Chain A
Amino acid sequence: MDDPFLLAGEEFGSRLIMGTGGLPSLEVLDAALASSGTELTTVAMRRVDPNARGSILDVLARRGVRVLPNTAGCYTARDAVLTAQLAREALTTNWLKLEVIADEHTLLPDPVELLDAAERLVDDGFVVLPYTNDDPVLARRLEQLGCAAVMPLGAPIGSGLGIRNPHNIELIVEQARVPVILDAGIGTASDAALAMELGCDAVLLASAITRAQHPALMAAAMRKAVEAGRLAARAGRIPVRRYARASSPTEGLTPSHVANS
């Protein structure tokens, strides 16, 4: 595998992690998953609905996509820890997207509860992938606690505002010794490409695909954007200059060229 994405000792070919919330049906989800090429996909834990038709787990199993449970909807470390333990029991994975939010208006992470939950879950043997603010200090603290990655937001969940503080994302990338996954805020393909150009190891997104007018089409766009951004980051972009720099040779110009210049 050329340039695999290494996360907690596992190799992935795709650097696009897809969330599954917001799609009208499992059929549409299945098509979006296929177009995205994702190999790791988040799910939420909720009370069993006796009337539910079909299971997302069956869809993911058929596609061979690995399940990453989250703790979406948890406001306290206590809730997040219990949800994580239930997810581990139900899905037989110790991987977890840790999400502890402060309020339903912003859905921003609550740093105090997040750190508390991360510490308890790492101690309990979980592979903790925390959804965090775009704060380099908080990211460092999460890494020091033993989190397997840090997942800073580009902008609030579902906002589609893109990456509001690329400078902070760069700072997080520069200091991190665990993978950095840009999580939340992506609106369109260029946002995902920018995340990768900034040096992120992967992108996690849901709404940008699931709430697009044509989810499968946007999933294909995101796949290419993440790939393109990754290639660009590896290729090393040119420095930004204030003035032009000719790409054609400046030797061998005729007198008329010189006269016109």
Chain B
Amino acid sequence: MKLIVNGTATEHRDDATVADVVSQLTVAPSGVAVAVNGVVVAHSAWTTTPLTDNDSVEVLTAVQGG
């Protein structure tokens, strides 16, 4: 299926979860948060949250700022 991950269209397995998408971007054990279609997905639900074609997944972390 196609997912929009941090603004870029990428191909993923049809059974990919939020946890799978995150692990492709970072190995950081903490400090990361995810929103799917504008709704935050709690860390505890990453492995159980299925994704569907064309979902928009935003994976954020803390950076230097303000």
| Residue in A22, A90, A97 whose beta carbon sits within 8 Å of that of B33 in the complex | A90
Interface size on A, residues (CB 8 A): 36
Instruction: Determine the chain A residues whose CB is within 8 A of the CB of B63 once the complex forms.
Output: 43-46, 49, 52, 56
* Contact (A46, B60) CB under 8 Å given A55-B31, A86-B35, A89-B40: yes
Task: Type the 1/0 row for A70-114, where 1 means its CB is closer than 8 Å to any CB of B.
Answer: 101000000000100111111100000101000000000000000
Query: From residue A130, how far is it (CB to closest CB) to chain B in Å?
Result: 13
Query: From residue A188, how far is it (CB to closest CB) to chain B in Å?
Result: 19
B residues 17-66 near A (Cβ < 8 Å) are: 25-26, 28, 30-35, 38, 40, 42-43, 58-66
**Contact of A48 with B65 in the complex, beta carbons under 8 Å:** no
CA distance A41 to B34 in the complex (A): 23
**Contact of A57 with B38 in the complex, beta carbons under 8 Å:** no
Instruction: Determine the chain B residues whose CB is within 8 A of the CB of A206 once the complex forms.
Output: 66
Q: Which residue of A lies closest to B64 (CB)?
A: A20
**Contact of B35 with A82 in the complex, beta carbons under 8 Å:** yes
| Residue in B32, B40, B61, B65 whose beta carbon sits within 8 Å of that of A42 in the complex | B65
**Contact of A46 with B66 in the complex, beta carbons under 8 Å:** no
**Contact of A48 with B60 in the complex, beta carbons under 8 Å:** yes
Interface size on B, residues (CB 8 A): 24
**Contact of A55 with B35 in the complex, beta carbons under 8 Å:** no
Question: Is the CB of A209 closer than 8 A to any CB of chain B?
Answer: no
* Contact (A82, B38) CB under 8 Å given A70-B66, A90-B31: yes
Most buried by B among A29, A57, A72: A57
CA distance A23 to B35 in the complex (A): 28
Instruction: Determine the chain B residues whose CB is within 8 A of the CB of A82 once the complex forms.
Output: 35, 38, 40
**Contact of B42 with A46 in the complex, beta carbons under 8 Å:** no
**Contact of B66 with A97 in the complex, beta carbons under 8 Å:** yes
**Contact of A45 with B64 in the complex, beta carbons under 8 Å:** no
- Residue numbers of A with Cβ under 8 A of B are 19-23, 26, 29, 42-50, 52, 55-57, 67, 69-70, 72, 82, 85-91, 97, 99, 157, 206
